[in-house]
Amino acid sequence: MSFDWREIEEKWRKEWEKAKIFEADPDPKREKCFVTFPYPYMNGPLHLGHGFTATRVDVYARYKRMRGFNTLFPWAWHWTGEPILGAALRVKSGDPEMIRALKEIDGVPEEELKKFVDPIYMARYYTSEGREAVRKIGFSVDWRREFHTTSLEPTYSRFIEWQYETLRRKGYVVRGTHPVVWCPNCRSPTGDHDRLEGEGVSAEEYVLLKFQFNDAYLPAATFRPETIYGVTNMFLNPDADYVEAVVDGEKWIISREAASKLSEQLKSVKVLREFKGAELIGEYFVDPISKRRLPILPGWFVDPESATGVVYSVPAHAPADWIALKDLINKPDVLRKFGIDPEVVRGIKPISLIEVEGYGDYPAVEIIEKMGIKDQFDPRVDEATSTIYRKEFHTGVLKPITGKYAGKRVQDVKSELIEDFKQVGIADIMYDLPEKVVCRCTTRCIVKVLSDQWFLKYSDPEWKEMAHEAVDEARIYPEEARAYFHDKIDWLHDWACARRTGLGTPLPWSPGWIVETLSDSTIYMAFYTIIKLIRQHNIKAEQLTNEVFDYIFLGMGNPEDLAEESGIAAGLLKEMRREFTYWYPVDLRVSAKELVPNHLSFFIFQHTALFPREFWPRAIGVNGMLSIEGKKMSKSKGNFLTLSNVVDNFGADVTRLTLMLGAEGMDDPDWRVENAKSIDSRLRALYRLIGEIVSLQGDSEMQNIDRWLISVIQGRIKSVTEAIETLRTRTAAEVALFEVWNDIRWYLRRAKKRNPNTLREVAEMWIRLLAPFTPHLCEELWHLMGNEGFVSTAEWPKYDEGKVDVKAEESESLIRNLMADTASIIGVTKMTPKKICYYVASGWKWRSYLEMIRESLETKIEMRTIMRELMKDPELRREAKKISVFVSKALQEINAMPTDQKKRRLKAGELDEEALLKEAKRFLEKEFKAEILVYKEEDPLRYDPKNRANLAKPYRPAIYIE
């Protein structure tokens, strides 16, 4: 029985498309469900990670559709931003790495590749490839609502303009300055993707403390301005080039490099003269706090490339400073060369200002000694510095020498102190990079402070508060992700929402700026609701005025007036409004967890800013990141799997199900070919099994085992349903595929006669439970079973409490336990049984047992009380002695029994074990290949040579084997 996935899948895809079952229009009579997947960025093909997240969306959509919801799953493509442009440029310049990736990984044919010098062509290419992949994997998308971003989709662009003008009007977009890593050659910020060197490096903010030097300042850079109270001297690099420059009207002495850096940081810098650091060595400067005169000493460790190239020395708390001083003390000749009396240096004593646990007054001195660092060129100086820094920052308390800050912890007082110092004019700030960053164009990057930047004011406390509320009101899957959202909402600060380059939508009020990529993708789900009508009625971008959008999305104005202004018929405007209000809010949005700190949080923020509360997102799902054979997927590692390729290799259903069984919640799924192969053969076996069930003939009487199967299937329906509802897609797939399968397997093993009606009933439910995961195969099976219509729109199986048969289930678990016990005895005794005797518990044991369970539901039962209770029954009273022996044994078992099981057993009541076992006799004989005899424990005619019958307990018949 071989069949071709591609053939089946293609067949049903065409049928679905022909019947337009995934095209969703407003229907006031039906409840709606609007699910979305963040549109993928089109600088490359869709990969398997997209497939994972989107399959979760599709499973949910298909499930909801079967539940009778009018379900909309739209799709679109993100073109906004730099990378498409960058990639096209790299193709143009013939970047071999880029060309290789495009050819080998993305499978771009040679003749197409040439055209990739045009970024738009590239985006279109990947978009159409992507669309094909989405179709192939069987996502239930309404394609009438497809679009892409940027000004190349003028109506979308107009929508973004409306969004930003509205945000600005409401005060959520503001102007400001911001430091960025900047390439002076490209004249643009250099993101991580655009760097040859320095990945992950970002600007650090130094505090400059301005020490007086004659008519000038020596602005020393530091992260620890509190240490100014312990300054003992200054270090300049005698071999480095310094300048005297007028900086914002003051005379500063800084390294030559620093001067050019500062000129990019909104400071006016005019260099007066240049000189070697040696010139100032031996001179004195004044500390602005205590007005002490302190010496300037030579320090070759001072890097003129780092910040100002001016360093003040705090030997008590900075290991580098202490070791540098020690070096100088050991080299009196060097000092004399600079005209410094060695006694001056020897006379410098560390000044302690921070009290820190585990150290004395001079932590820097201690750690240098402890680590055995010998001079300032020892590479471990950095390690010592960061150890002391961390320790002092987190646990250090400032000493009385620090005046008003005394007694406070360093980390608590730091920002206050910086503000104070700025106020009195002794501090300034400067940005610099902690490590070298090199742009792709090979130019070394600097920090530039951009002015006139446009920001989304995510720092706004009231806005944050609304975002928190939106998170509180939404369902978050998994629940653990909720804390993550709250945390990230607090952590977000203002976001530069416009850029100078890249594809996108120009900022309407400020030419030369383009709305940045993460910022034009926050509320576009609203656009899905109307793009269909925009297309159908050929509405032009110019007609979509702000007032029109205000009406559609916010219900402002009246359609008759708007019709006149815009030329869009009033009826059509109303229809667009209806379409929006019908579909909105978003019922579920799903993405990988990496998008929580940015896209998903922005999505939440902007919804709260622009829409009334009833249109805030209803549910957000977050999932892990897909790895391939245990490794992170990446083009450079050569383990990049495109969605299209995987679907071609394994088929849509195998791919979908394998992905779904990979992980749920925030766990990272792992794609393994072995798993996919195993799922492939599973599904083929499923096809065969259903085929067998379909071919079963005749009729058969309902046995206990039939009731059992129908009953446990109810439980499966319930757990699959609950799992999908809460987006636990792995659990749902696992139960729907394997647990149901095992139930049926047990039935087939156990049933005397396979009942075609039972199996057909179960198979139909089974196929429907699997349909969201493997829709094509299920469609095939659905029809194989003789059903009309699509399984994709069939009714989701209903959990039917009336079909739950606790007695049948408990009876079956009795049989299973008995088999396990019997097998265990056979295993231990190593005997080949000829005869197996079972003795079932007597009626009084059952009655006592059930009574004990009943009692134990309320209290912890005790011997004395339960006996008193049982003895009220005159019939039981006659067996008082035996009962007391039995009760004392059963007591522990019942007290340890989970409530759930107690309830089940109580509900099942007394089982007719004798009948049950007799009915299972043939089955047990087949299983154990031995004669099975069943007796009541008190049967006087029983065969019981070892006298085991009295060991019988309810649910646990006594066993004798020979």
Q: Which of residues 391-450 bind RNA (CB under 7 A)?
A: 394
How far is the C-alpha of 448 from the C-alpha of 180, rounded, in Å?
5
Q: Which is nearer to RNA, 210 or 599 (CB)?
A: 599
The two tokens of residue 442 are: 């090979």
Q: Which is nearer to RNA, 480 or 542 (CB)?
A: 480
Residue 457 near residue 463, CB atoms below 8 Å: yes
Buried/exposed 270-306: b ≥16 CB within 10 Å, e otherwise = eeeeeeebbebbbbebebbbeeeebbbbbbebbebeb
Residue 192 near residue 413, CB atoms below 8 Å: no
Q: Which is nearer to RNA, 731 or 792 (CB)?
A: 731
Cα end-to-end span (Å), the chain? 46
Q: How far is the CB of 925 from RNA (least distance, A)?
A: 15
Residue 196 near residue 411, CB atoms below 8 Å: no
Residue 392 near residue 316, CB atoms below 8 Å: no
Select from 10, 667, 761, 931 the one that contacts RNA (CB under 7 A). 667
Q: Which of residues 317-376 bind RNA (CB under 7 A)?
A: none
The DSSP secondary structure of 100-155, one letter per residue, reads: HIIIIIS---HHHHHHTTSHHHHHHHHHHHHHHHHHHTT----GGG--B-STTSHH
Residue 79 near residue 148, CB atoms below 8 Å: yes
Stretch that binds RNA, among 6-14, 115-123, 603-611, 740-748 (CB under 7 A): 740-748
Q: How far is the CB of 445 from RNA (least distance, A)?
A: 10
**By three-state DSSP, how is residue 632 classified?**
strand
In the chain, count H helices and then E strands: 37, 31
How far is the C-alpha of 725 from the C-alpha of 751, rounded, in Å?
34
Taking the CA atoms of the chain, what radius of gyration do you get in angstroms?
38
Select from 26, 154, 184, 191 the one that contacts RNA (CB under 7 A). 191
Q: Which is nearer to RNA, 44 or 298 (CB)?
A: 44
The DSSP secondary structure of 574-594, one letter per residue, reads: HHHHHHHHHH-S-SEEEEEGG
Q: How far is the CB of 191 from RNA (least distance, A)?
A: 3
The two tokens of residue 60 are: 């949910």
Residue 231 near residue 312, CB atoms below 8 Å: yes
Q: Which is nearer to RNA, 212 or 443 (CB)?
A: 443
Q: Does 957 bind RNA (CB under 7 A)?
A: yes
Select from 193, 346, 613, 834 the one that contacts RNA (CB under 7 A). 193
Residue 483 dihedral angles phi and psi, to the nearest 5°: -60, -35
How far is the C-alpha of 940 from the C-alpha of 943, rounded, in Å?
9
Q: Which of residues 623-652 bind RNA (CB under 7 A)?
A: 625, 632
Q: How far is the CB of 831 from RNA (least distance, A)?
A: 7
Q: How far is the CB of 652 from RNA (least distance, A)?
A: 19
Tell me the CA distances in angstroms from 631 to 53, 107, 625, 627, 669, one per residue in order: 18, 22, 11, 5, 11
Q: Which of residues 154-183 bind RNA (CB under 7 A)?
A: 178, 180-181
Q: Which of residues 899-938 bind RNA (CB under 7 A)?
A: 900-901
How far is the C-alpha of 560 from the C-alpha of 662, rounded, in Å?
54
Q: Which is nearer to RNA, 154 or 833 (CB)?
A: 833
Buried/exposed 838-860: b ≥16 CB within 10 Å, e otherwise = bbbbbebbbbbbbbbbebbeeee
Stretch that binds RNA, among 215-223, 428-436, 496-504, 542-550 (CB under 7 A): 496-504
Q: Which of residues 520-549 bind RNA (CB under 7 A)?
A: none
Q: Which is nearer to RNA, 865 or 895 (CB)?
A: 895
Select from 375, 452, 480, 564 the one that contacts RNA (CB under 7 A). 480
**By three-state DSSP, how is residue 690 classified?**
helix
Dihedral in degrees, nearest 10, Cα atoms 763, 769, 774, 776: 60
Site string for RNA, 448-467 (x = CB under 7 A): ----------x---------
Select from 11, 336, 404, 493 the one that contacts RNA (CB under 7 A). 493
Q: Which is nearer to RNA, 583 or 605 (CB)?
A: 605
Residue 389 near residue 166, CB atoms below 8 Å: no
Q: Which of residues 375-394 bind RNA (CB under 7 A)?
A: 390, 394
Q: Which of residues 130-159 bind RNA (CB under 7 A)?
A: none
Alpha carbon 780 to its chain's center: 35
Q: How far is the CB of 455 from RNA (least distance, A)?
A: 7
Q: How far is the CB of 295 from RNA (least distance, A)?
A: 34
Q: Which is nearer to RNA, 214 or 824 (CB)?
A: 824
Q: Does 803 bind RNA (CB under 7 A)?
A: no
Q: How far is the CB of 365 from RNA (least distance, A)?
A: 23
Q: Which is nearer to RNA, 685 or 871 (CB)?
A: 685
Q: How far is the CB of 648 from RNA (least distance, A)?
A: 21
Residues 6+ apart with CB under 8 A from 284: 293, 294, 295, 296
Alpha carbon 481 to its chain's center: 8
Of the candidates 295, 294, 279, 299, the residue with the CA atom closest to the CA atom of residue 236: 299
In single-letter form, the type of residue at position 321 comes to: D
Q: Which of residues 32-91 bind RNA (CB under 7 A)?
A: 41, 43, 78, 80-83
How far is the C-alpha of 953 from the C-alpha of 530, rounded, in Å?
69
Q: How far is the CB of 128 from RNA (least distance, A)?
A: 17
Q: How far is the CB of 848 from RNA (least distance, A)?
A: 18
Residue 958 dihedral angles phi and psi, to the nearest 5°: -75, 155
How far is the C-alpha of 294 from the C-alpha of 234, rounded, in Å?
7
Instruction: Count the site residues for RNA by CB under 7 A.
Output: 102
Select from 546, 675, 787, 793 the one that contacts RNA (CB under 7 A). 675
Select from 192, 248, 561, 862 the one that contacts RNA (CB under 7 A). 192
Select from 112, 361, 734, 910 the one that contacts RNA (CB under 7 A). 734
Stretch that binds RNA, among 24-32, 116-124, 727-735, 910-918 (CB under 7 A): 727-735
Q: How far is the CB of 678 from RNA (least distance, A)?
A: 4
Q: Which is nearer to RNA, 280 or 518 (CB)?
A: 518
Select from 404, 565, 895, 912 the one that contacts RNA (CB under 7 A). 895
Stretch that binds RNA, among 121-129, 140-148, 876-884, 897-905 (CB under 7 A): 897-905
Q: Which of residues 746-775 bind RNA (CB under 7 A)?
A: 746, 748-749
Q: Which of residues 808-847 bind RNA (CB under 7 A)?
A: 817-818, 820-821, 823-825, 827-831
Q: Which of residues 211-230 bind RNA (CB under 7 A)?
A: none
Select from 272, 556, 685, 915 the one that contacts RNA (CB under 7 A). 685
How far is the C-alpha of 871 from the C-alpha of 877, rounded, in Å?
5
Residue 761: Cβ within 10 Å count: 16
Q: Does 518 bind RNA (CB under 7 A)?
A: yes
Tell me the CA distances in angstroms from 738 to 715, 950, 959, one per residue in order: 14, 40, 33
Helix pair 381-395, 410-423: axis angle to 10 deg: 90
Select from 341, 419, 594, 912 the one that contacts RNA (CB under 7 A). 594
Q: Which is nearer to RNA, 242 or 431 (CB)?
A: 431
Q: How far is the CB of 940 from RNA (least distance, A)?
A: 20
Q: Which is nearer to RNA, 135 or 730 (CB)?
A: 730
Stretch that binds RNA, among 276-284, 299-307, 680-688, 766-774 (CB under 7 A): 680-688
Q: Which is nearer to RNA, 82 or 780 (CB)?
A: 82
Stretch that binds RNA, among 135-143, 609-617, 935-943, 948-956 (CB under 7 A): 948-956
Phi-psi region of 2 (alpha: psi -120 to 50; beta: other; left: phi over 0): beta
Angle (nearest 5°) at CA 858 between 855 and 859: 85
Select from 112, 117, 202, 635 the one that contacts RNA (CB under 7 A). 202
Alpha carbon 288 to its chain's center: 50
